[in-house]
Amino acid sequence: MKYDTRYPGIADLKRRAKRRLPNFAFDYIESGIDDEAGKRRNRQAFHNVHLTPRYLRDVSTIDTRVSLFGTEYALPLGVSPVGLGNMIWPGAEAALAVAAQRARIPYVLSTFSTTPLETVAQLAPDVCWFQLYVPRDPEIMDDLISRVKRAGFRALVVTVDIPVGAKRNRELKNGLKLPFSLTPRIVWQSLSHPAWALQTLTHGAPDFVNVARYRTDANLGLADFISSVTIRGLPLERLKRIRDLWDGPLIIKGLQAYENFRAAIDCGVDGAIVSNHGGRQLDAAPATIDTLRQLPADISDRLTLMIDSGVRTGLDILRSRALGAQAAFSGRSFFYGMGALGRKGADQVVEIFRDEITRGLQQLGSTSFQELNAGWLADASWPYPT
Ligand SMILES: Cc1cc2nc3c(=O)[nH]c(=O)nc-3n(C[C@H](O)[C@H](O)[C@H](O)COP(=O)(O)O)c2cc1C
């Protein structure tokens, strides 16, 4: 195995990250909204998808490759966009970009990243996708999209599920503000985690570098900062404008309602990441694997479907495949890896998933990720569709 077997699963990395990170940084990753029931539901719903193994087959060679929007990736796994990455672990975004490029998996950089988008595009030229939080001001939006284009990003992911900055109580209690300010609570928590504090001193205080130039109000809490910059609900005319400006693959992230998928198709969107933001926006939202299961063929035939929110094992990715996803993404898993092991945590997470995807396919009796389909669902009717 090409990873540190003291931490063989994402859950092991999470436990170590909790110890190594200051509480405000761990809470920032871990927060869901309200009672955090949606976050738990995402996990539970994956457990509820049962697959029937098929034996009596040669599974010595396994093909994990996927083709997304005309580009081949080595695994059906990608890194979801996570804002403020370098606050969680200094240098995390650059390390993730390098690890994704090496592993040939998509890395989605957040609008609210703390590394300039131009730098990330250079580190991950073949695999970098850009996630757009749509700015309220159309001129700022146009400017941002043209920077993303110039930098060479391969796909644009428009996130639509934050019509307003979320009220996450853990974040509020910790008093996180941007630019990052050293409140006594944050100083105290940092000093009691010297590895993190030392790295942060070396890297400098994190800030939202991609949007700092457009900022008018300094010193806002996270939820208020997001509300102040982004559009309060994305009207379809704006989505059409984005389609006109961006001629590469256009992906929408965060939809869960049938009519929204239909509208996205009508606007010329190419793909969708079925997501509920990892349970961070609406505690009542359905688990994403349940939404995926419900999408009818008029959606799945016309959009490249992908999923995130609660993906923690290779088997979750295989479950998603059986329900129609071409690839699955995770946000927190990668940051548990960083929190646990520093920058080498990115490779550890990729290798854990690679191992679990490969063994999972062998166990299921499927020689390629592409081959896996709804016929493997335990509740599929017999004889299996092929
Ligand atoms: C700390 C944190 C920050 C996030 N920031 C963003 C962001 O900037 N843009 C975005 O589209 N989604 C953001 N998300 C949502 C992720 O892209 C993704 O949908 C979610 O993390 C997937 O769930 P998982 O963490 O359970 O794998 C964030 C999630 C977390 C945990």
Domain contains 176 = yes
Ligand 1: centre distance to CA 61 (Å)? 34
- Give domain status of residue 69, yes or no: yes
Confidence of residue 382 (pLDDT cuts 50, 70, 90): confident
Classify residue 261 as exposed, middle or buried by CB count within 10 Å of its CB (0-12, 13-18, 19+). Answer: buried
The per-residue pLDDT of the chain, averaged, comes to: 94
Q: Is residue 383 part of a domain?
A: no
Residue bearing the CA closest to ligand 1, atom 13: 82
pTM greater than 0.95: yes
Q: How far apart are the C-alpha atoms of 194 and 173, rounded to whole Å?
A: 22
Looking at the CA of residue 30, tell me the nearest atom of ligand 1: 31
Identify the residue whose C-alpha is closest to ligand 1 atom 21. Answer: 331
pLDDT higher than threshold 90 for residue 235:
yes
Report CA dihedral (203, 209, 212, 214) to the nearest 10 degrees: 170
Whichever domain contains 338, its CATH number is 3.20.20.70
User: Does residue 2 belong to any structural domain of this protein?
Assistant: no
Q: Does some domain include residue 1?
A: no
Contact (CB, 8 A) for 107 and 331: no
83 CB less than 6 Å from ligand 1? yes
Q: Is 377 helix (H, G, I), strand (E, B) or coil?
A: strand
Paired tokens of 12: 């092991």
Quote the number of domains for the chain: 1
Range of the domain at 56: 10-376
Strand, coil or helix: 279: coil
Report how far ligand 1's centroid is from the alpha carbon of 56 (Å).
40
* Per-residue pLDDT, 363: 98
On whether residue 357 sits in a domain, the answer given is: yes
What string of DSSP letters covers 241-262?
A: HHHHH--S-EEEES--SHHHHH
In the chain, DSSP assigns E strands to: 66-68, 71-73, 77-79, 107-109, 128-133, 155-159, 177-178, 220-221, 250-253, 271-274, 304-307, 327-330
Q: What is the pLDDT of residues 334-352, one digit of tens each?
A: 999 999 999 999 999 999 9
CA dist 382 and 375 (Å) reads 8
Cα(281)–Cα(33) distance, integer angstroms? 6
* Ligand 1 pocket check for 230: Cβ under 6 Å: no
Is there a domain that residue 222 lies in?
Answer: yes
Question: What confidence category does residue 218 fall into, taking pLDDT thresholds of 50, 70 and 90?
Answer: low
Q: Is 334 in the pocket of ligand 1 (CB under 6 A)?
A: no
Residue pLDDT, tens place only, 240-284? 999 999 999 999 999 999 999 999 999 999 999 999 999 999 999
CA of 292 to the centre of ligand 1 (A): 18
Whole-number percent of the chain with pLDDT over 70 = 98
Q: Is 81 in the pocket of ligand 1 (CB under 6 A)?
A: yes
Beta bridge partners of 73: 66
Query: Above 70 in pLDDT, residue 178?
Result: no
Answer whether residue 383 shows pLDDT above 90.
no
Going from the C-alpha of 346 to that of each of 75, 129, 280, 380, the distances in angstroms are 15, 17, 23, 36
